[in-house]
Amino acid sequence: MQALARTIGLGFLALCLLAVALKLLVPLPGPLGYAPLDPGLGPRLAPLDLVIWYGTEKRVWLEEAARRFEARGESVGGRPIRVRLVGMGSREIADRVARQDWDEAPRPTVVSPASSLWTEMLTSEWAARHGGAIIADAPAPLVLTPLVAVAWEERARVLWPRGVQDFWGDLHAAVVAEGGWAAVAAANGFGPDTPEGQRAARWGLVKLGHTSPLSSNSGAQALLLMAYAYHEKTAGLTVADVQDPGFLSWLGDIQRGVYDVGESTGTFMSNMVQFGPSRYDLVLVYENLAIENIAAAERRWNQPLRVYYPPATLFSDHPYAILGEPLTSRDEREAAARFRDFLLQRPQQELALRSGFRPIDPRITLSGADATNPFPGAAAYGISIDVPAQVETPPGEVIAALITAWDQQIRPLIPSGGQ
> Could you tell me if 91 and 121 are in contact, meaning their C-beta atoms sit under 8 angstroms apart?
yes
**Are 279 and 295 part of one and the same domain?**
yes
**Are 240 and 284 part of one and the same domain?**
yes
Q: What is the pLDDT of residue 261?
A: 78
Report if residue 276 sits inside a domain. yes
Q: Does residue 359 have a cis bond before it (omega within 30 degrees)?
A: no
CA distance linking residue 96 with residue 322, whole number of Å: 15
Report if residue 332 sits inside a domain. yes
Q: What is the pLDDT of residue 18?
A: 47
Report if residue 113 sits inside a domain. yes
DSSP state of 164: -
> Could you tell me if 305 and 290 are in contact, meaning their C-beta atoms sit under 8 angstroms apart?
yes
Q: Give pLDDT tens digits along the chain (419 positions).
A: 445 445 445 454 444 444 444 444 444 333 333 333 344 444 578 999 999 999 888 988 999 999 999 999 999 999 999 999 999 889 889 999 999 999 889 999 999 999 998 998 899 999 999 999 999 989 999 999 999 999 999 999 999 998 888 999 999 999 999 999 999 999 999 999 999 999 999 999 999 989 889 988 999 999 999 999 999 999 999 999 999 999 999 999 999 888 777 777 877 788 888 998 988 999 999 999 999 898 899 999 999 999 999 999 999 999 999 999 999 999 999 999 999 999 999 999 999 999 999 999 999 999 887 888 999 999 999 999 999 999 998 988 899 999 999 999 998 888 764 55
Q: What is the pLDDT of residue 416?
A: 61
Report if residue 36 sits inside a domain. no
Strand-pairing partners, residue 357, are: none
**Are 246 and 308 part of one and the same domain?**
yes
**Are 68 and 188 part of one and the same domain?**
no
Report if residue 86 sits inside a domain. yes
> Could you tell me if 165 and 142 are in contact, meaning their C-beta atoms sit under 8 angstroms apart?
no
3-state secondary structure of 356: coil
Domain residues for the domain of 76 are 48-144+317-359
CA distance linking residue 160 with residue 155, whole number of Å: 8
In the chain, the number of structural domains is 2
Report if residue 43 sits inside a domain. no
3-state secondary structure of 112: strand
**Are 132 and 281 part of one and the same domain?**
no
**Are 303 and 166 part of one and the same domain?**
yes
**Are 123 and 212 part of one and the same domain?**
no
Q: What is the pLDDT of residue 37?
A: 39
- Residue 111 sits in a domain whose CATH number is 3.40.190.10
Neighbour count for residue 148 (Cβ, 10 Å): 25
Amino acid making up residue 48: L
Q: What is the pLDDT of residue 334?
A: 98
Report if residue 369 sits inside a domain. no
- Residue 206 backbone class (left: φ over 0; alpha: ψ -120 to 50; beta: rest): beta
**Are 296 and 342 part of one and the same domain?**
no
**Are 183 and 323 part of one and the same domain?**
no
**Are 273 and 228 part of one and the same domain?**
yes
166-180 burial, b for 16+ CB within 10 Å, e for fewer? ebbebbbbbbebeeb
DSSP state of 358: E
Report if residue 137 sits inside a domain. yes
**Are 61 and 125 part of one and the same domain?**
yes
**Are 252 and 231 part of one and the same domain?**
yes
CA distance linking residue 115 with residue 223, whole number of Å: 14
